[in-house]
Amino acid sequence: MANILYGKAVSDNINEQTRKIVKILKIHGKQATLAIVRVGENADDISYEKAATKRCQQLEINVISIILNKDVEYEKFYHTLDVLNTDDKIDGILMLRPLPKHLDNEKARNYLNPAKDIDGSSDIALSSLFSNTNKYFAPCTAKAVIEMLKYYNIPIVGKKAVVIGRSLIVGKPVSMLLLNENCTVTICHSKSENIPTLTKQADIIIACSGQMESLNKDYFSKNQTVIDVGINYNHKKGKLCGDVLFDEVVNIVENISPVPKGVGSVTIAVLLNNLAISARRKL
């Protein structure tokens, strides 16, 4: 039976770091402030907004929610972003996506002030990651994976990692973060051949393809660490599950993160730590 890598302990550790920064800010007469931009009434967006707001309250971070109608005019939406981008009191902007098509998702994610893009969604933030300058923030879920590995003292330097998935949100950025930690990285995707052969040779496997329970015992071998980033709802089982068939794989590998209670619980902690760091940079 593998060691279960729960996210709560990691999240608590990051939150404690954030609290320390918030206290320093208060000494200087400043309160960290997050602006959340939500367009429409998407249930997932509302749930994430509530979770982020609750965590902000626990960390004594100020939150401003800007809620716009799903049919909001293009000009009004971008004017709202202009105001937030230039308001010195706003330290970070969380724009809930995807947006309605008429607002142009690609333009919107690149429209944010890079210094306030605490979710690391813009091309400028990604270029900072790829060049390893740390000037801007990496995508939060990708950073959460690294935080998980480091908290549980999983060796990274010189190890072989296979990342299954190549999205800009997780797959590509987590690959670069691992590379920046001197890990040897292989990226697999839907066109890759002989994936089980590659994964069985890895020390670390990051599952982030979004394909529900697509990775069974045939992909794994002993002494491996598996971080499952996938989050899917299995209607037959009536519960959330990841990309890994947990019940099979947990009996093979050395370490594995569960879904839920794994990486997902760390993502918001990373987001708000980024916010606190953004605020501290202004001191």
What is residue 49's predicted lDDT score, i.e. its pLDDT? 97
3-class DSSP assignment, residue 207? strand
Q: What tokens does 191 get? A: 């066109």
Q: Compute how many other C-beta atoms are within 10 angstroms of the C-beta atom of residue 160.
A: 15
Mean pLDDT of the chain: 98
| Partner residues linked to 241 by β-bridges | 232
Cis amide leading into 100 (omega within 30):
no
- Alpha carbon separation from 248 to 213, 234, 252, 256 (Å, rounded): 10, 16, 7, 11
- Alpha carbon separation from 30 to 16, 63, 86, 273, 281 (Å, rounded): 18, 14, 17, 16, 12
Q: Kindly state the percentage of the chain with pLDDT values over 90.
A: 100
Whether pTM > 0.85 for this model: the answer is: yes
How many whole angstroms separate alpha carbon 225 and alpha carbon 213? 17
How many whole angstroms separate alpha carbon 206 and alpha carbon 184? 13
What is residue 204's predicted lDDT score, i.e. its pLDDT? 99
User: pLDDT by residue (tens digit) across 140-167?
Assistant: 999 999 999 999 999 999 999 999 999 9
Mean pLDDT of 174-181: 98
What is residue 12's predicted lDDT score, i.e. its pLDDT? 99
Taking alpha carbons only, the member of 114, 149, 119, 127 closest to residue 262 is 149
User: pLDDT by residue (tens digit) across 12-35?
Assistant: 999 999 999 999 999 999 999 999
Residue 214, phi-psi category: left (phi > 0), alpha (psi -120 to 50), beta (remainder): alpha
Taking alpha carbons only, the member of 8, 13, 7, 5 closest to residue 273 is 13
Taking alpha carbons only, the member of 58, 64, 85, 116 closest to residue 278 is 116
Q: How far apart are the first and last CA of the chain?
A: 48
Mean pLDDT of 165-178: 98
145 neighbors 263 (Cβ within 8 angstroms): yes
CATH superfamily of 140-264: NAD(P)-binding Rossmann-like Domain (3.40.50.720)
Q: Do domains 30-115 and 140-264 have the same CATH topology?
A: yes
CATH superfamily of 30-115: Leucine Dehydrogenase, chain A, domain 1 (3.40.50.10860)
How many whole angstroms separate alpha carbon 233 and alpha carbon 241? 6
Q: Kindly state the percentage of the chain with pLDDT values over 70.
A: 100
How many whole angstroms separate alpha carbon 164 and alpha carbon 210? 9
Phi, psi of 222 (to 5 degrees): -70, 165
What is residue 234's predicted lDDT score, i.e. its pLDDT? 94
Domain boundaries, the chain: 30-115, 140-264
User: pLDDT by residue (tens digit) across 97-125?
Assistant: 999 999 999 999 999 999 999 999 999 99
